[in-house]
Structure 1
Amino acid sequence: MQDIQIHSVRKLLMITATFLTLTVATNAKTVVFFPPPSTSYIVYHTNVAGELTSMGHDVWICVPHFLISKDLVKDKSVKVLEYGEYLGDLETKIFRNTKMASKFWDKDYAIEPVTFYYYAAEFTKAAHEILSDKSFLNTLRALKPDLFVIESIPFNVNMVVLPYMLDVPFALIGTFHDVALSRVPFSVVAPYFPDDKLSDKMSFVQRLQNFVFYIIQISFDLFYDSNLVTKFAPHKPYKSLNDLAATAEIFIAEVDHILDYPRSMLPNTKLIGGSSASPVKPLVGDFKKFVDQSKRGIIVVSFGGHVMSIPQTIASKLLSAFQQLDLDVVWRVNITSPDPSRIMTSKWIPQNDLLGHEKTKLFISHCGKNGQYEALYH
């Protein structure tokens, strides 16, 4: 219990210090978050936004129409600004067109860069539509924001055009520390881009590859389109998106040294890893009933919000394995459980609260950012 309290205080201090720095620098009062139109990003942006509302700021988060029904913004002190009915179910469309879920299960890692490129291309198309939405832009102008907080994951960098065209300062927040975007001088020690194939003990060839990719990233628009600046901010001096992103007031990274290699950072970069983790809330409904009746303890299984459908052969193997265990299972998946008394399946689970429950013995995951920190926290 003491360790949890210490971690909770540390997390709060880190986030508070980050935004104290941010608010002093920009005198921000009305803050607008713009996460990518994707479930997991909206969740962690909301966690950070909630800390900012507790400091007395008026905070809004932009949520696309197709995700409104999921009620992702659990902190009701954060106001929701709906947009983008024209996008359709962008998340599902992208995963269907890029076949990312099937490639995940097929271990088709060889074409990951190509897949990511097409993923980024879809978001670039969406950026054109969003920045052309006069109604959405007028709503933002009416809010008179003092600061935008934009997700810095490469396929969302297009959206830094939004604060630029509205003459509003902005901060960048991301799930990893983008050293190229924040203009950190290159270091041969740490891998530039999060990659399970590289470590801080790279070979000469790997270091060379790392350096070449860094140069390419700062020199070319691999995952975004600088033409958006010319099209939507013609009244402003032209800047490439790389140069524009570098003007952020502050860079906030959802990482922590405990889960990363040592990296060089500039003073305007703050690490807030673990913002998704929080003290446990009581389970309710079917989740409470299932966990309460478990006498042996439970396993929590989740491969992220995007991987809901699993190939039958893999699902059968997992179910067979779970049925042989001496533990009950709560599994986030879009299938019907063959044994509801021992294996609970659901399209959504209160992951943080389940991981913090005293009966949870094991977490099986794809190692997403939120899940990693929540598991460590509890």
Structure 2
Amino acid sequence: MIQIVYMFLVLHGVYSANILYIAPLGSPSHYLWNKVLALELVATGHNVTMLTHDYEKKDVLTNYTVITIEDFYEHTSKHFYIEDVILKGNTIQNILDLHDYAKLTCDYDFQSAGFQKLLNYPQDFKFDLIIFDITGPICLYGFISRFHNPPVIAITAFTLSPHLSYLFTNPLYTSYMPHFATTYSNKMTFLERTLNFIYTYFDIVLAMYISFPYQHQTAIVAFNAPLPDFVETHKNFSLFLINTDFAMDYPTPLLPNIIPVGGLQIQPLKPLSQDLENVFNHAEHGVIFFSLGTNINSKIFTDEDINTFLNVFSKLQEVVVWKFNDSLQNVPKNVFISKWLPQNDILGHPKTKLFITHCGRLSTQEAIYHAVPMVGIPYFIDQNENMARLINKGVAVYLNNKHFTFGNIHGAITEVLRNPKYKYNIKKMSEKFKNYINSPLDRAVFWVEHVLAYGAPDYLNAPSRDMKFYKINNVDVFLFLLLCLLLLCYIFYCVLQISKIFFKQPKIKTN
């Protein structure tokens, strides 16, 4: 009996490990993605300590501890204006804004009580593993050294951005891998390929030579200790779990230690609240769900925009369920307003026929999973690229956020609702999204436990992680071959010149 239990533990890698989960990107939706993985690890029997900017009203389970970097969102609302980011709306500015947000985050976090609480853990406290969300700021890398360099798994609820692809020495082909802040497809024109090359390497240079060095210097002061170079730190990461799935994303090459877990956050459906259940029960012609996610406030709409939307909704036979941050007056009978709504459960309801969305990555994944076609209103960062992919796959219609009229709103909605191609296309896309031998969450937990059981899986690491850029790309080889070619040309030229001297024809005198 003891042998059977022992074999079960060995085969399944199930033992209670202490895991530090650092999620430094201030975004409620990204926290929810990370929380799903954290709670699944807790359910597996591990102790998880989460450092985040978000609050938990209570511990979900006894072995799940949340340390909150307090009042972060109140601070950023005063010093980082998302409306300005939206209005600027160009690729270079979006890249700069992301790095500015990382700088603001680091400067704030190092002054917080939450940071000090984790920093003041006993010096000999042992974490068996650190999971680090590297989507945004990385200044908290200092905790890796602080807790004696356990194995580290990098994760992101985002796509594989250029500078992260570069840091992990993943193949980076700008000819068919569009930057996330563009609207390019994977089949670009010459001009688009040129611009995409510029955007991609601007992102990389900004991260490597400005953002990361700044974060490294501020971290040295905050941790009051020498820290390894942050760029070099990535070489010691065991794995990188990324929120991509090729049913939704363009096909791109990935090294074996970069594991796609797209849609990890999608959970089994829960029953709707009684008020929502009543709304759905009375929706004879179906439901339209309207939400701009957690980062875009409804204040982005002018009064004229709101009245235009309400006017359009009043002419529809469907019921509209709208996540709106404030109260509204003169709401049509077929419109239900709420400040918070269970998005996954609403999208999974059989009566939901259309999703009006900002095209955030998590939202579009959930819509694809539940086969709900979309009207997209993208605003910034990756939302425009997500929108472009959805249009390319024939599952969504674009609605310009700078030009809301009755005609274009009503036209977009009715096009998706009345044209069967959108439902057909997204149904096929959904089937591909679900058709795996295991779920993305199971995949993520498997690899976390694999690292806990066996340590860093070095057999997955390409030699490129320890090579210089010029060696990875054979720059020295090309230069050598070019030099050889030039030398051969020179030798050939010299031979010609010599031959002219030795075989010079004598002049024939004429009388």
Q: Deviations over 1:119-159 (max 9, x none)?
A: 22211212322599433323486863211211111x32222
1:67 match: secondary structure: coil
Specify whether residues 332 and 215 from structure 1 end up closer, same or farther in structure 2 by C-alpha distance, changes over 3 A only: closer
Q: What is the CA distance between 1:92 and its match in structure 2? A: 4.2
Q: Distance in 1 between matches of 2:94 and 2:47?
A: 39
Moved over 6 A (4+): 140-143
Task: Give the structure 2 partner of residue 159 of structure 1.
Answer: 140
Amino acid in the other structure paired with 1:94: T
Q: Distance in 1 between matches of 2:40 and 2:114?
A: 31
Task: Give the structure 1 partner of residue 43 of structure 2.
Answer: 54
Contact 1:252-1:269 within 8 A present in 2 as well: yes
Task: Give the structure 2 partner of residue 312 of structure 1.
Answer: 303
Does residue 29 in structure 1 map to residue 12 in structure 2?
no
Q: Of 151, 154, 159, which residue of structure 2 is paired with 1:176?
A: 159
Specify whether residues 209 and 291 from structure 1 end up closer, same or farther in structure 2 by C-alpha distance, changes over 3 A only: same
1:113 match: secondary structure: helix
2:120 match: secondary structure: helix
1:257 match: secondary structure: coil
Task: Give the structure 1 partner of residue 263 of structure 2.
Answer: 274
Task: Give the structure 1 partner of residue 184 of structure 2.
Answer: 198
TM-score, normalised via structure 1 length:
0.80
Q: Distance in 2 between matches of 1:368 and 1:59?
A: 27
Q: Distance in 2 between matches of 1:68 and 1:326?
A: 39
RMSD over equivalenced CA pairs, Å: 3.2
Specify whether residues 293 and 215 from structure 1 end up closer, same or farther in structure 2 by C-alpha distance, changes over 3 A only: closer
Contact 2:69-2:114 within 8 A present in 1 as well: no
Task: Give the structure 2 partner of residue 303 of structure 1.
Answer: 292
Does residue 226 in structure 1 map to residue 226 in structure 2?
no
Q: Deviations over 1:281-305 (max 9, x none)?
A: 1101322222222222111111111
Q: Distance in 2 between matches of 1:96 and 1:282?
A: 37
| Residue-pair matches, total | 347
1:161 match: secondary structure: helix
Contact 1:30-1:144 within 8 A present in 2 as well: yes
Q: What is the CA distance between 1:234 and its match in structure 2? A: 5.8
Q: Distance in 2 between matches of 1:77 and 1:192?
A: 43
Q: Of 256, 260, 263, which residue of structure 1 is paired with 2:249?
A: 260
Q: Counterparts in 2 of 1:356-371, with a 5 A limit?
A: 356-371=348-363
Specify whether residues 351 and 128 from structure 1 end up closer, same or farther in structure 2 by C-alpha distance, changes over 3 A only: same
Q: What is the CA distance between 1:353 and its match in structure 2? A: 0.3
Contact 2:103-2:137 within 8 A present in 1 as well: no
Give structure 1 stretches of 5+ with no counterpart.
1-19
Contact 1:187-1:264 within 8 A present in 2 as well: no
Amino acid in the other structure paired with 1:225: Q
Amino acid in the other structure paired with 1:196: T
Give structure 2 stretches of 5+ with no counterpart.
1-9, 371-511
Contact 2:31-2:52 within 8 A present in 1 as well: yes
Q: Of 65, 73, 92, which residue of structure 2 is paired with 1:91?
A: 73
Q: Distance in 1 between matches of 2:209 and 2:306?
A: 41
Q: What is the CA distance between 1:42 and its match in structure 2? A: 0.9
Q: Of 117, 122, 128, which residue of structure 2 is paired with 1:135?
A: 117
The percent of aligned pairs where both chains have the same amino acid is 23
Q: Distance in 2 between matches of 1:213 and 1:32?
A: 32
Q: Which protein is bigger by CA-based radius of gyration?
A: 2
Amino acid in the other structure paired with 2:182: D
